[in-house]
Amino acid sequence: MLTFFSILPLRLNHFIGSSIGRFLYFTNSKSKCIISKNIDLCFPELNQEERGNLVKKSLIETGKGLTESGFIWFNNFKTNAKYITKTTGMEHLRSNRPVILLVPHFGCWEITGRVLSLTTPVVFLYKPLRSKKQEACLISKRQQGDLSMATANKKGVIKLQRALSKGDLIGILPDQDPGEEGGISAPFFNHDANTMTLLAKLVRKNNAKVIMTWATRLEKGKGYE
């Protein structure tokens, strides 16, 4: 299925993804229930219609993220880069200090490391999948050229530290549950959330610069910024 999505024009790819998102919205899917609960908790000041619109938009972007995974993974890095229409803030990567990319699950986060690794080595932290077969497939698509992956465990943290010591970029997705040992309770939208401590520890240890990084999807499959 992902191979099929890889050969579609991005506009058609995103159209199908949008349709999947709308289907999830109108069928009262599990994804809709989870997103609705989160939006209710985070935006109590919005009325029911405004919250519903946010839920729908979120599911549409979720659908696009699903279909574009094949488009990203099954095309090479240089092909991915052709769909980046605009970049800003690249000057912040040229620093005498180590640089950590803060890459939450906003937009097409998958493409960020692939494109940046065309000019400099990048190591991304990730959480391994339970299925060994799926894990092997995922790594084969993500870990290529100067982009490597570090597992979210002690061995992976050592790999991140070595990369920083060499002057390579590292990428961390902070909006994941780090488990009891890897996080602390911190306020998020006025609610306590288990929050990763690794980023703060790496920043303090290396006097690192943190750069928020994301790729915004453009309308009608026109690429990313």
109-127: pLDDT as tens digits: 999 999 999 999 999 999 8
User: What is d(CA 187, CA 206) in angstroms, rounded to the nearest whole number?
Assistant: 26
Closest to 78 measured CA to CA, from 111, 109, 121:
111
**Alpha carbon distance 101, 123 (integer Å):** 10
pLDDT over 90 (residue 51): yes
Statement to judge: residues 207 and 102 lie in one domain: yes
Domain limit, last residue, from 12, 43, 75: 75
Residues 87 and 42 in one domain: no
φ/ψ of 112, rounded to 5, equals -60, -55
Residue 113 sits in the same domain as residue 143: yes
Identify residue 37 by its one-letter amino acid code. K
The Cα–Cα gap between 118 and 77 comes to: 7
3 band by pLDDT with thresholds 50, 70 and 90:
confident
* Window from 3-7, 11-15, 110-114 with minimum mean pLDDT: 3-7
Percent of the chain with pLDDT over 90: 88
The answer, yes or no, to whether residue 1 has pLDDT greater than 90, is: no
Look up the domain containing 46 and give its range.
Answer: 2-75
Domain count, the chain: 2
Which of 75, 98, 118 terminates a domain? The answer is: 75
Q: What is the pLDDT of residue 161?
A: 98
Query: Is pLDDT at 140 greater than 90 in this prediction?
Result: yes
Residue 107 sits in the same domain as residue 146: yes
Do residues 69 and 91 share a domain? no
Query: Quick one: what percent of the chain has pLDDT higher than 70?
Result: 100
Please tell me whether residue 109 adopts helix, strand or coil conformation.
coil
Q: What is the pLDDT of residues 170-206, one digit of tens each?
A: 999 998 888 878 899 999 999 999 999 999 999 999 9
Model confidence over 79-106: pLDDT tens digits?
999 999 999 999 999 889 999 999 999 8
Q: Measure the CA angle with vertex 217, ends 25 and 4; round to 5°.
A: 75
**Whats the size of the chain, residue-wise?**
225
| pLDDT over 90 (residue 54) | yes
Same domain, 100 and 63: no
Q: Are residues 164 and 90 in the same domain?
A: yes
pLDDT band at residue 130 under the 50/70/90 scheme: confident
User: Do 98 and 203 have their domain in common?
Assistant: yes
Q: Angle at Cα 169 formed by Cα 168 and Cα 175, nearest 5°?
A: 150
Same domain? For 53 and 107 the reply is: no
Is 70 found in the same domain as 144? no
CATH number at residue 92: 3.40.1010
Residues 59 and 127 in one domain: no
* DSSP conformation class of 188: E
6, 116: one domain? no
Q: What is the mean pLDDT of residues 59-76?
A: 96
Angle at alpha carbon of residue 24, lines to 132 and 105, rounded to 5°: 55
| Listed residues 30, 57, 75: the one ending a domain | 75
